[in-house]
A and B are shown apart, each in its own frame.
Chain A
């Protein structure tokens, strides 16, 4: 398995599924940069919420070395086309994740609570009118409602529930999502955070944030 990350030519596509873009690449860059830490972390379960084309979960599986080391992957998406496309992308790269069509982690929350060691999320973060949130099709890939926070704010408590004691969350955000405020909110839940990748394009300023449980607080 010579690939370190997913190859675009092997990533499957569909008209209603979000294609890998700057935000996907930035998230994978963050994971690549943290690779030795991730491997040392010895995660058991890794999960992506909102897998889209499968580019990120595939890259994560490749860069960690899938399955041989007892690492297992889950990925979810509310868009049924996305889940199918992800399956094709993973198959093309020779990696495997358990895929579930669901809203965030609905159905998994009770049993998988406290078991996820790595969670990666590239959420719908674009500020849009509220009524665009949760619509079917490709719009669900970006429509984030007020300040682009509607879906992010639903994901964070789920992440808090699923993450293990040593769990790490990597989250893609925009400047418009008020990332510093987000970090403060997560601090209330007992998480430390760091902006691991910052990338500005003409249109947007991306912040990839890494969260982990802070046990140092006395």
Chain B
């Protein structure tokens, strides 16, 4: 599970109003290189919750992202590389995502988060 996906996931437990971002429990992280697309990064930047990305990347052991970012930083190759690396190249293979409101655990196995709810949670 990429941090891009983590940035797009929120808790689907019934009645939760504050389900984003999900907490991260890390067991195994894998780095997989992928080609950088500046177009994509520039396009997606405004949709990314930056603080959630920074916190998530630190949780998986990457501390290079600046605390704050604005669109003007997209002119910098170095920023783009760090943004790209955090968003797309760090994969949580094993661990869990945690609902910030209820603490409900969503396991992540083989890079796949399980957001399936039990009948009483729907």
| Chain A residues close to B by CB (< 8 Å) | 44, 67-72, 74, 78, 80, 83-84, 87, 96, 98-103, 106-112, 115
How long is the Cα–Cα vector from A155 to B68 in the complex, in angstroms? 37
29 A-B interface contacts by CB (under 8 A)? A44-B44, A67-B34, A67-B35, A68-B35, A68-B37, A70-B40, A70-B43, A71-B40, A72-B4, A78-B116, A80-B116, A87-B111, A96-B34, A98-B2, A99-B112, A100-B5, A101-B112, A101-B115, A107-B9, A107-B12, A107-B106, A108-B8, A108-B9, A109-B12, A110-B19, A110-B20, A111-B47, A115-B8, A115-B47
How long is the Cα–Cα vector from A45 to B13 in the complex, in angstroms? 25
Pairs of residues from A and B, 5 with the lowest C-beta to C-beta distance, nearest first: A70-B37, A70-B40, A102-B115, A107-B115, A101-B114
Is the Cβ of A107 less than 8 Å from the Cβ of B10? yes
How long is the Cα–Cα vector from A111 to B46 in the complex, in angstroms? 12
Q: A71-B40, A107-B10, A107-B113 are in contact. List 16 more A-B contacts (CB 8 A).
A: A67-B34, A68-B37, A70-B37, A70-B40, A72-B4, A84-B110, A87-B112, A98-B5, A100-B112, A100-B115, A102-B114, A107-B106, A111-B8, A111-B49, A115-B8, A115-B47
Task: List chain A residues, Cβ under 8 A from B1.
Answer: 98
Is the Cβ of B37 less than 8 Å from the Cβ of A101? no
Is the Cβ of B20 less than 8 Å from the Cβ of A106? no
Is the Cβ of B12 less than 8 Å from the Cβ of A106? yes
Q: How many chain B residues touch the partner (CB < 8 A)?
A: 31
Task: List chain A residues, Cβ under 8 A from B20.
Answer: 110-111
Instruction: Closest A residue to B48 by CB, please name it.
Output: A111
Instruction: Say if the beta carbon of B39 comes within 8 Å of chain A.
Output: yes
Task: List chain B residues, Cβ under 8 A from A69.
Answer: 37
Instruction: Say if the beta carbon of B11 comes within 8 Å of chain A.
Output: yes
Selected contact of B112 from candidates A68, A70, A83, A103, CB within 8 Å: A83
How long is the Cα–Cα vector from A69 to B34 in the complex, in angstroms? 11
